[in-house]
Structure 1
Amino acid sequence: MRKFKKQKLFLLVLLFPFVLLVISFEFWPLFAMIHNSFLADDGKTPSMIQYFTVFHSSYYLQAVQNSVLISLFSSVVSIIIAIITAYSITRFSKKIQDRMLMITNMTSNFEGIPLAFSYIILLGTNGLFTLLFTELGLDLFAEFNLYSWSGLILVYIYFQIPLAIMLLYPAYKGIQKQWMEAASLLGATNVRFWLHIGIPYLLPSIVGTLSILFANAMGAYATAYALVGNNYNLLSLQIASLVASDVALKPQLGSALGVLLAVTMLAAMWINNRMMRRIRRDLS
């Protein structure tokens, strides 16, 4: 017994550096952000002025609205495409599935500045596809502007789809082949099987993936900044400009916006948790 306690204590000592690392890089910055959000611009006087400024400014409220809308829209479109794509991947042989998952995994890491730069090269004002179709007399991009809402939606969907596929693919593996065979023997068509068995089984995974996509889009910064700079009003861009700008440096106000961003993500996760509980309760 004494030997077991010593071994347990030794393992806790080994775990301490990791715990310290987590506290240093996750909890301490969060605490500092919340603390700074309740300070005045001088960084010393306790005040609610930062939250008063945020909630009484149509400019910052528009940033919140734009971020929520673009995150929600891109997440919904991405999850629909990912549901179909992930199912399609499961219909191939194991060898092809592994290769497609490898490509999907690689694509999921292609985001940020490199992704925005690639879209600028292909679909920008003087992009390859833009000039090519113009030379062919096809005005496919006549009303399309990459540096606007539609361009941001397109880029967000691109880096959201691979992540959604990677999260949904394991859920399809839980659907047993025997379920389909049993449903077929009972006279159920393929459509009825998915409506009454397949989709209800996948629904918790779909809802959970949707919340992750929403949070991922809300926190996206590098891609949006490289694509539109400060020409489009997004919450993540406003936080960065207030914290790291050389012109309007207001870290306390940026901290308040950061807290608002964190609360929005937590609210999305809370709603997702409630929905998943209700879905599981209804299924049981």
Structure 2
Amino acid sequence: MENILKLEKSKKVSITKIKIKEHHKAFLILIPFITLIIMFLLSPFLSTFISSFLNEYNEFSLENYEYIFKSRFIKQSIFNSLELSIVSTLLGLLISLQGAYSLNKLKNSSKKSVLLLINMLSNFSGIPLAFAFIILLGSNGVMTILLKNIGLIETFDVYSRAGLMLMYTYFQLPLGLLLLYPLFDRIDPQWQEMVNILGGGTFTFWKRVGIPVMLKEILGTMLIMFANAMGAYACTLALTNGAYNVMTIRITSYIAGEVSYEPGIASAMSIVLGGILLFVVVINEILLKKKRGKYER
């Protein structure tokens, strides 16, 4: 018996040693990844966070944050960014949901072609996208002249809020389609048949079954699209030449030295921008927990 117990103990010791070695190997493999995270995520964030509390004399204070929340111009940039992001996210989500549903109904050959096109369009952003909008919808753009001749529009200013909203919604679509398309594979056609047998229609099916099943992924997609819009810079600058007041352009103006060099204010605005995104993440998690609790009951 003693020999058997000793053998079992030695086996357990050897197994634990093997596990420890495996953990060490896994940690060694992760060292380059952890180094990159520290260099390109944590270090810039800490530097920005500390800089946001430094005034022009390099003294710790809340002057930068006080300036942000007292300045009407900066508050306008926050409001404009939120408006563009929220509206373009909601519009982009609705169009992407319909597009993903329709895409899921195509044949495999057609589906692959459309997905390839969407992948290409997802990389078409920034300055090239703004240039394309100017060519198509500018004052003498191809589409603008065509729509005027048909009589559908009288005037359209692509360099205004309406033009930006259109462009933001456009570049949300490929992202939304790629993220939402796989969700419809989770919907079993038999579920809709069961709902129809019980007397429910298509609307009842999506309200009671389809949307709740995909809700977590839909909210996650909304969050990604919102962050995508809040961080947009190149296309906004190229289309409006910095005339439209949004957070990303204001942050750049304070660190590029075009008007004044105020890195503390730029850092504080960056932290506020990050805080807005964090707030959206928290709200997203709260909504998900409430929905989970509702369906568990």
TM-score range with shorter-chain normalisation? over 0.9
- Structure 2 distance, partners of 1:139, 1:199, is 36
Letter in 2 for 1:115: L
Higher alpha-carbon deviation: 175-184 or 146-155: 175-184
- Structure 2 distance, partners of 1:176, 1:129, is 42
**What's the TM-score once normalised by structure 2's chain length?**
0.89
- Structure 1 distance, partners of 2:41, 2:63, is 26
**2:262 is the alignment partner of 1:250:** yes
Higher alpha-carbon deviation: 169-178 or 192-201: 192-201
The aligned residue for residue 49 of structure 1 is: 63
Please give the residue correspondences for 1:211-250 in structure 2 after superposition, counting only pairs within 5 Å. 211-250=223-262
Structure 1: runs of 5 or more not aligned: none
Q: Output the aligned Cα RMSD.
A: 1.7
- SS class of match (1:249): coil
Higher alpha-carbon deviation: 51-60 or 210-219: 210-219
Letter in 2 for 1:174: R
Identity %, equivalent residues: 36
The aligned residue for residue 87 of structure 1 is: 101
The aligned residue for residue 6 of structure 2 is: none
- Structure 2 distance, partners of 1:52, 1:183, is 56
* Matching residue within 158, 163, 174 for 1:146: 158
Give deviations 1:38-93, integer Å, cap 9, x for gaps: 00123x21121111110111110111011111110111111111111111111112
Higher alpha-carbon deviation: 24-33 or 164-173: 164-173
Classify 1:133/1:93 alpha carbon distance in 2 versus 1 (closer, same or farther; 3 Å).
Answer: closer
Structure 2: runs of 5 or more not aligned: 1-13
The aligned residue for residue 80 of structure 2 is: 66
**2:142 is the alignment partner of 1:100:** no
Letter in 2 for 1:47: S
The aligned residue for residue 120 of structure 1 is: 134
- Structure 2 distance, partners of 1:175, 1:131, is 44
**2:12 is the alignment partner of 1:11:** no
Per-residue deviation, 1:192: 2.3
Letter in 2 for 1:128: V
| Stretches of 4+ aligned residues off by more than 4 angstroms | none
Q: Residues 34 and 255 of structure 1 are in contact (CA less than 8 Å); yes or no, is this contact kept in structure 2?
A: yes
Q: Residues 122 and 129 of structure 1 are in contact (CA less than 8 Å); yes or no, is this contact kept in structure 2?
A: yes
* Matching residue within 35, 40, 58 for 1:25: 40
Q: Residues 204 and 279 of structure 1 are in contact (CA less than 8 Å); yes or no, is this contact kept in structure 2?
A: no
Q: Residues 54 and 60 of structure 1 are in contact (CA less than 8 Å); yes or no, is this contact kept in structure 2?
A: yes
The aligned residue for residue 175 of structure 2 is: 163
- Structure 1 distance, partners of 2:211, 2:38, is 40
- SS class of match (2:151): coil
Structure with larger Rg: 2
Per-residue deviation, 1:212: 1.6
Per-residue deviation, 1:206: 2.0
- Structure 1 distance, partners of 2:217, 2:54, is 41
Per-residue deviation, 1:139: 6.3
**2:279 is the alignment partner of 1:267:** yes
* Matching residue within 198, 202, 219 for 1:190: 202
The aligned residue for residue 219 of structure 2 is: 207
